[in-house]
C-alpha cells in the first residue's frame, strides 16, 4: 500500500516558533524544511507536505474570514491528501475546530488541530510530541478507511472531538479538556483509539460551506447584572443570535424585567441559546422554576454544548439556513457530534 499523504498547515501560533541564531528572537520556522527541524518525523510512515500562511497569525486574531481561507486550503487539497494537520495557536483552537466541524459536511478524512504551550525551538517544548502524534493520527487508516474521520484536537497525549473542547489551562501542557464527551484516543507506548466514540466516515461526498454570519454575541450572567446592561446588549446593532451563559443546569434570574426584555427580543426575531457556565454538565430547561420561564418565552436549551461550539454553530446556521424555525430545529439536534441528544421518551 502506498504511504498516506498528510498536509501540514501552519496558521501561526506558539508551536511554529524557533529561536533565531542572530537576533535570539522567536520567529516562525520554515515548514518546507520541517523534517530537518524535527528529524523524528522521518520515522513516521507517511509522506508529509508543508504549507504555511503567507503571514502567520496569532490565534487571538482568528476570524471567520480566516476559517474560510483555511477551508479553501483543505478543499483544494482534499483529493490529494489522506489527512490534514493544522498547527494553530491554542487560545482560539477550540473555536476553529468547532467552526471547521460545521463548515465541512460529510467529512471522510482526519483533520487534526494541534499546537503547544512552548515553541518548537525551546528545549522543553511540548510541540514536538504534539506534532508527531497528530501526524500519526492523521495518517491512520484501517482497511482503507480513516480511523478518526472528524475534526479533532490533539494535545498532551489526548485526542478530543474538536467541537467538544475548551481550553482550561494557560500554563500547563495539558491545556485542553472535553468535559462532556470522552477522549477519542490516548497516546502512550501506543496510540489507543476509543473507537466506540469516533464518528464513522460519511458515505456522501464532502460539502464545504464557506459562509459564516458573525451576528452572534455572548451574554454571561452574574449576580447583580443590571437591567440597563441587559437592555443595552439586546439592542446591539446587527446581533441576530445570543449565547446566554446561565447558571448551573440553565438557570437565570426570575426578575420580571429580565424575562420581559428577553421575551421582547425573541419576539423581535433574536435567537437565544441557553448554555451553562459550568465546564461540565448540561442545560436542562424546566428542571427548576428559574429555567422553566426561559423555556416558556422561547429560549432554546443548548444541552451540553460548549460556548465555543455554540458560537460557531450559530454563525454557521445563521449563514446557511433560510429561517429562524430551521435554525431552532438544528440547534436542538446534533449536526456533527457537538451535543448529546437525549433519546425521546415515549
Q: Which three cell numbers stand for residue 215?
A: 451576528
- Catalytic residue, chosen from 14, 165, 276, 307, is 14
14 is catalytic: yes
User: Judging by beta carbons within 10 Å of its beta carbon (0-12, 13-18, 19+), is residue 268 exposed, middle or buried?
Assistant: exposed
Q: Residue 330: which residues within 8 A CB-CB, separation 6 or more?
A: 317, 321
Cα 213 to Cα 312: distance, rounded to the nearest angstrom: 9
Q: Which three cell numbers stand for residue 150?
A: 472528524
Cα 12 to Cα 24: distance, rounded to the nearest angstrom: 19
Q: Which three cell numbers stand for residue 186?
A: 490516548
* Residues designated catalytic: 14
Amino acid at each position: 500500500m502506498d504511504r498516506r499523504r498528510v498536509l501540514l498547515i501552519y496558521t501561526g501560533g506558539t508551536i511554529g516558533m524557533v529561536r533565531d541564531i542572530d537576533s535570539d528572537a522567536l520567529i516562525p520556522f520554515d515548514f518546507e524544511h520541517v523534517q530537518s527541524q524535527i528529524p523524528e518525523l522521518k520515522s513516521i510512515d507517511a509522506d508529509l507536505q508543508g504549507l504555511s500562511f503567507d503571514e502567520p497569525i496569532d490565534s487571538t486574531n482568528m476570524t471567520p474570514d480566516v476559517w474560510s481561507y483555511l477551508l479553501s486550503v483543505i478543499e483544494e487539497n482534499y483529493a490529494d491528501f489522506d489527512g490534514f494537520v493544522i498547527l494553530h495557536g491554542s487560545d482560539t483552537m477550540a473555536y476553529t475546530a468547532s467552526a471547521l466541524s460545521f463548515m465541512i459536511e460529510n467529512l471522510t478524512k482526519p483533520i487534526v488541530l494541534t499546537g503547544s504551550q512552548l515553541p518548537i525551538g525551546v528545549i522543553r517544548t511540548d510541540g514536538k510530541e504534539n506534532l508527531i502524534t497528530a501526524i500519526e493520527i492523521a495518517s491512520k487508516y484501517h482497511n482503507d478507511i480513516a480511523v478518526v474521520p472528524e475534526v479533532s484536537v490533539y494535545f498532551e497525549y489526548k485526542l478530543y472531538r474538536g467541537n467538544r473542547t475548551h481550553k482550561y489551562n494557560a500554563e500547563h501542557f495539558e491545556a485542553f479538556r472535553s468535559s462532556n464527551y470522552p477522549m477519542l484516543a490516548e497516546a502512550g507506548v501506543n496510540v489507543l483509539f476509543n473507537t466506540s466514540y469516533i464518528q464513522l466516515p460519511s458515505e456522501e461526498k464532502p460539502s464545504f460551506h464557506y459562509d459564516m454570519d458573525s451576528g452572534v454575541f455572548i451574554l454571561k450572567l452574574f449576580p447583580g447584572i443590571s437591567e440597563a446592561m441587559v437592555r443595552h446588549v439586546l439592542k446591539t446593532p446587527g446581533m441576530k443570535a445570543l449565547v446566554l451563559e446561565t447558571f448551573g443546569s440553565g438557570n437565570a434570574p426570575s426578575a420580571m424585567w429580565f424575562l420581559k426584555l428577553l421575551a421582547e427580543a425573541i419576539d423581535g426575531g433574536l435567537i437565544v441559546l441557553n448554555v451553562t457556565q459550568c465546564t461540565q454538565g448540561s442545560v436542562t430547561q424546566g428542571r427548576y422554576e428559574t429555567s422553566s420561564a426561559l423555556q416558556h418565552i422561547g429560549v432554546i436549551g443548548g444541552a451540553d454544548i460548549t460556548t465555543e461550539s455554540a458560537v460557531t454553530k450559530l454563525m454557521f446556521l445563521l449563514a446557511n439556513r433560510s429561517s429562524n424555525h430551521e435554525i431552532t430545529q438544528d440547534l436542538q439536534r446534533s449536526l456533527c457530534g457537538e451535543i448529546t441528544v437525549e433519546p425521546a421518551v415515549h
